Amino acid sequence: MTTPENDIALSTLISVGESTAPELDRDILRKCYLIQKKYQFSEDRSLSMAAMERLVEDALERNGSALEGSE
C-alpha cells in the first residue's frame, strides 16, 4: 500500500509545486492530490468536484479570516 510518505507522484507534485509556486500551501496541494486519488476510478465525477469545492472554500475562508485578523 502506498502511503503519503512513499508516494512518488505526490512527492513529485509537491516538489514541482515548491519550485514553480513557492507561495502555494503544500497542505492544500497534498489534499487536492489525495481527493483526486480517492475518486480517480469513480464514475460519478461530482464526488471529486464536490470535495475539491469544499477544500477550496475552506481554504478561502481560512485565508480570509487570517487577512481580516491582520488588518
pTM of the model: 0.76
Question: Cα(70)–Cα(30) distance, rounded to whole angstroms?
Answer: 26
Confidence check: pLDDT of 2 > 70: no
Distance of CA 29 to the CA centre of its chain: 3
User: Residues near 52 by Cβ (< 8 Å), separated by ≥ 6?
Assistant: 32, 35, 36
Question: Cα(44)–Cα(24) distance, rounded to whole angstroms?
Answer: 28
Cell 481554504, located at residue: 59
pLDDT by residue (tens digit) across 29-67? 999 999 999 999 999 999 999 999 999 999 999 887 665
Confidence check: pLDDT of 27 > 70: yes
Phi (first) and psi of residue 52, to 5 degrees:
-65, -40
Which pLDDT score, from 0 to 100, does residue 12 have? Answer: 95
What confidence tier does 1 reach under pLDDT thresholds 50, 70, 90? Answer: low
